[in-house]
Amino acid sequence: MSRTMSDGSEDFNGNISRTGSHRQTDHHGYKVRFPPAKGLFTELAEGVKETFFANDPLREYKDQPRSKKLWLSLAHLFPVLDWARSYTFGMFKGDFVAGLTIASLCIPQDIGYAKLAFLPAHVGLYSSFVPPLIYAAMGTSRDIAIGPAAVLSLLLGTLLQEEIDPVKNPYEYSRLAFTATFFAGVTQAMLGFFRLGFIIEFLSHAAIVGFMAGAAITIGLQQLKGFLGIAKFTKKSDIISVMESVWGNVHHGCNWQTILIGASFLAFLLTTKYIAKKNKKLFWVSAIAPLISVIISTFCVFITRADKQGVAIVKDIKQGINPPSFHLIYWTGPYLVKGFRIGVVAGMVGLTEAIAIGRTFAALKDYQIDGNKEMLALGTMNIVGSMTSCYVGTGSMSRSAVNYMAGCKTAISNVVMAIVVMLTLLLVTPLFKYTPNAILASIIINAVVSLVDYETAYLIWKVDKMDFMALLGAFFGVVFASVEYGLLIAVAISLGKILLQVTRPRTALLGNLPRTTIYTNVEQYPEATKVPGVMIVRVDSAIYFTNSNYVKERILRWLRDEEEQQQEQKLSKTEFLIVELSPVTDIDTSGIHALEELLKALEKRKIQLILANPGPAVIQKLRSAKFTELIGDDKIFLSVDDAVKKFAPKSALNV
């Protein structure tokens, strides 16, 4: 991306500072101007506005009557009131088909994901009934499908079982799950209400890719319990513990009927996924394959009574819709704090996943989602869900992809899905009694295979090695330690990258491209020539207390290297140092102090310091600190070209 300067120059990510030859006479007489002075309150107000209200959400309220403002407020909280006015029957047909399609996918997935979180199967179904209804009224994404997700279920199950054993104390375990869900919702809603969505941006895309891939491997390995028919299995999620558990049970033998069911239906599911990938029009084949697998495998187990031969089955799934669970949430005691801690982590992960999915499909259909409204919607649905026997829900990538491919038009597809799940809870759950656990394991393995995005990982490796390190850190953290450690490593590496970029900004030595007035990086453009007697340096970052000393030392190092080269090649001595400031968006008192020290160091060497193209914030602060008086107004120029023409006119004539 490029941005055009006031002098007609362009800054290509700090690579080129150019003064167009066609503007040469226009700007040659101009000097750097000072922007209008702003008071403390004005600066704070503008800073707050850009941080929390960048999209100016109050602009539509201006000059509106009170009744209109009330309606706009309601529509802001419930976007359905806005888009429902233009909803048509044609749109409903698309949403209806999409809703039925994702319902056929979500029902078997919900049962499997609930087991992944060590919760009863009906809780998984509950979580695809109430939350989608809330989201449909408050969300801004047209394509996201709401419900339990594999990664979030694994994370929740891993964190919860560290506190309470789900087998020995299932009641207390469920209570803690609802407590964590409540605080996950509160975390998400508060981030949206206070417009703090930028916090989730600290988890980089590369870290998310690595985290998802590691979680997919972990989830797949944990399904070996159901896939192989292993009775006793480790509760740990790291790959070493899982493989030790598998290897330890191999000697005692596995249930061959369970393996046959799991392997055959996994092959069927993977085949349908391959068909759908090759032919986008056949997406429905992959979407309905899990439900077909459940029906066929359940029927086979029932007629053969394979459950009496060691095939583990789901057994009874509680019939009926969501009972209230407000009274089950821990409001006091030690589990309140534990639920809060787990909820915050789960809420942040769920939020990151949902926002990423929503943005992906919004980009495909060329519309915008409101991040703060999304957080408020997700938070509200999880708060309500915690009070109606649901566990943490978010956007599901596999379901959202099917929803998109099925031709959904609005969030009404979530409503259709929720109604189908409700009917399933009321009428169909007894039929799942003989569903083998092996088929649920196969469905989950099939679902998480797509989370290993090796193509994106390879692209990240080619583009940015530091990003790839964040990816690897998250991946190996999840696979060899645990989900929470992988997440912690991912955040730590992402923050470390930010700190490295802030404390060690790039600087560049500039030269002149022959027969132009362009001054650019000599490393990027080897043909660019240095101006005799003049050294031109560009700083590609704001200058703050975190990097000011480094910037000063780096410029002096450039100067020392230049002087050594001049002595070796017997070139003319440097008389002027031009610092190109166009990429420097801001400067603080430490940065100004560093410039003062640089000026003193240059004076000892009898070198004059010249500044080129400072931005409004920078020049205003330099004037306030009286640095402009110290250096002199005649040493501040609109462009590098102007400075060279002033102090090295003979060199400028050769341009």
Is 60 exceeded by the pLDDT of residue 19? Answer: no
**What does the pLDDT read at residue 553?**
95
pLDDT tens digits, 80-112: 999 999 999 999 999 999 999 999 999 999 999
User: Buried b / exposed e across 616-643, counting CB within 10 Å, b at 16+?
Assistant: ebbbbbbbebebbeebeeebbbbbbbbb
Give me the domains of the chain, ranges plus CATH numbers. Answer: 90-453 (no CATH), 504-645 (3.30.750.24)
For 520-544, what is the mean pLDDT?
A: 93
**What does the pLDDT read at residue 5?**
42
Cα within 13 Å of Cα(286), Cβ side? 24
**What does the pLDDT read at residue 52?**
65
The residue whose two tokens read 């009926």 is 320
What is the full DSSP assignment across 488-518?
HHHHHHHHHHHHHHHHS--EEEEEEPTTSSE
The residue whose two tokens read 């009744």 is 67
- At residue 555 the predicted structure's pLDDT band, cuts being 50, 70 and 90, is very high
Q: pLDDT exceeding 90 applies to what percent of the chain? A: 63
Task: Tell me which of 54-58, 368-372, 514-518 is least confident.
Answer: 54-58
Is 60 exceeded by the pLDDT of residue 285? Answer: yes
Torsion over CA: 569, 571, 574, 580 (sign)? negative
**What does the pLDDT read at residue 76?**
86
- At residue 55 the predicted structure's pLDDT band, cuts being 50, 70 and 90, is low
| CA–CA distance, 417 with 130 (Å, rounded to integer) | 11
**What does the pLDDT read at residue 51?**
65
CB 164 within 8 A of CB 156: no
| CA–CA distance, 570 with 210 (Å, rounded to integer) | 53
| CA–CA distance, 133 with 413 (Å, rounded to integer) | 10
Is 50 exceeded by the pLDDT of residue 455? Answer: yes
Is 60 exceeded by the pLDDT of residue 652? Answer: no
- At residue 40 the predicted structure's pLDDT band, cuts being 50, 70 and 90, is low
What is the full DSSP assignment across 236-261?
--SHHHHHHHHHHHHTT---HHHHHH
| CA–CA distance, 130 with 128 (Å, rounded to integer) | 6
pLDDT tens digits, 289-347: 999 999 999 999 999 999 998 899 998 899 999 999 999 999 999 999 999 999 999 99
pLDDT tens digits, 176-194: 999 999 999 999 999 999 8
**What does the pLDDT read at residue 303?**
95
| CA–CA distance, 102 with 109 (Å, rounded to integer) | 10
Q: Which two tokens stand for residue 312?
A: 């583990």
- At residue 24 the predicted structure's pLDDT band, cuts being 50, 70 and 90, is very low
Q: Which two tokens stand for residue 131?
A: 């939350």
In sequence order, the β-bridge partners of residue 611 are 579, 636
Helix, strand or coil, per DSSP, at residue 412: helix
For 524-531, what is the mean pLDDT?
A: 91
| CA–CA distance, 538 with 583 (Å, rounded to integer) | 8
572 compared with 594, residue with greater pLDDT: 594
pLDDT tens digits, 190-242: 999 988 877 777 778 888 899 989 999 999 988 988 998 887 888 777 889 88
**Residue type for position 425:** L
Average pLDDT across the chain, whole number: 88
For 369-384, what is the mean pLDDT?
A: 94
| CA–CA distance, 103 with 31 (Å, rounded to integer) | 66
Is 60 exceeded by the pLDDT of residue 37? Answer: yes
Q: Which two tokens stand for residue 557?
A: 């190092």
Contacts of 579 (CB under 8 A, 6+ apart): 537, 538, 539, 555, 609, 610, 611, 612
Would strands 507-512 and 534-539 be described as parallel, antiparallel, or unpaired? antiparallel
Of 498, 366, 470, 421, give the one whose Cα is nearest residue 148: 421
91 compared with 244, residue with greater pLDDT: 91
For residue 382, CA distances in Å to 76, 320, 350 come to 19, 20, 10
Helix, strand or coil, per DSSP, at residue 87: coil
Is 80 exceeded by the pLDDT of residue 251? Answer: no
Checking phi first, is residue 478 left (phi over 0); if not, alpha (psi -120 to 50) or beta?
alpha
**What does the pLDDT read at residue 56?**
67
- 13, with CB counted inside 10 A (0-12, 13-18, 19+), is exposed
For 17-41, what is the mean pLDDT?
A: 56
At residue 509, φ and ψ (nearest 5 deg) are -95, 130
For residue 240, CA distances in Å to 92, 209, 470, 607 come to 49, 22, 22, 63
